[in-house]
């Protein structure tokens, strides 16, 4: 059985999206809870703008594919464990979520993180791979893509590829998560 993994700081409630916050509240949240996130803090307003554009791209693309997102801002997870995320040491909490909880109508995927995947497709970066970057995948697409089986999240990576960190899952329905942490969600 394949699993999704949700990483979070143990001082925060899981299965929340900071994208629901105003720009000012998001900057304050990041300052307090993730002060070492250099990508965000280098240009907070630019990062927020690009993240919002990325979420719009995800939402619109997923709907065009036949997806039925039930929330505006997805909950991000990884398909399989991510040694990259775990090596950062930023997150103490991790919830393993069975992939089988979600229908193909409420989950999408990108290779790697959606923000990076979109960025790679918009730049002339040497690491850009048109087969996987800048694309949104449906659940039905996963078995035919790199790393079939996903027994370990790093299996699909190509050695020497700077941006192939993990496969990101975007969850577009909170209902299946409610039973996992009833007091939080």
Structure tokens at 24: 């000012």
- Give the H or E element holding residue 93: strand 93-98
- 103 phi and psi angles, rounded to 5 deg: -90, 160
Q: What is the pLDDT of residue 145?
A: 52
Residue 184 tokens read as: 């939080």
Question: Whole-model pTM?
Answer: 0.84
Q: Give tens-digit pLDDT for 118-140.
A: 887 888 777 777 888 889 999 98
């Amino acid at each position: 059985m394949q699993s999704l993994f949700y990483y979070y700081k143990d001082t925060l409630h899981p299965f929340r999206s900071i994208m629901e916050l105003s720009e000012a509240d998001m900057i304050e949240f990041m300052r307090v809870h993730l002060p070492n996130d250099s990508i965000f803090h280098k240009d907070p307003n630019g990062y927020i703008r690009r993240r919002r554009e990325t979420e719009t791209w995800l939402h619109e693309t997923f709907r065009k594919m036949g997806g039925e997102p039930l929330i505006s801002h997805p909950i991000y997870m990884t398909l399989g464990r991510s040694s990259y995320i775990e090596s950062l040491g930023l997150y103490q909490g991790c919830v393993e979520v069975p992939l089988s909880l979600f229908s193909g109508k409420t989950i999408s995927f990108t290779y790697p993180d959606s923000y990076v995947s979109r960025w790679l497709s918009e730049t002339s970066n040497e690491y850009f791979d048109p087969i996987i970057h800048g694309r949104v995948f449906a659940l039905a697409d996963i078995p035919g893509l790199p790393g079939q089986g996903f027994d370990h999240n790093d299996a699909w990576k190509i050695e020497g590829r700077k941006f192939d960190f993990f496969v990101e899952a975007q969850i577009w329905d909170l209902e299946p998560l409610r039973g996992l942490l009833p007091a939080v969600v």
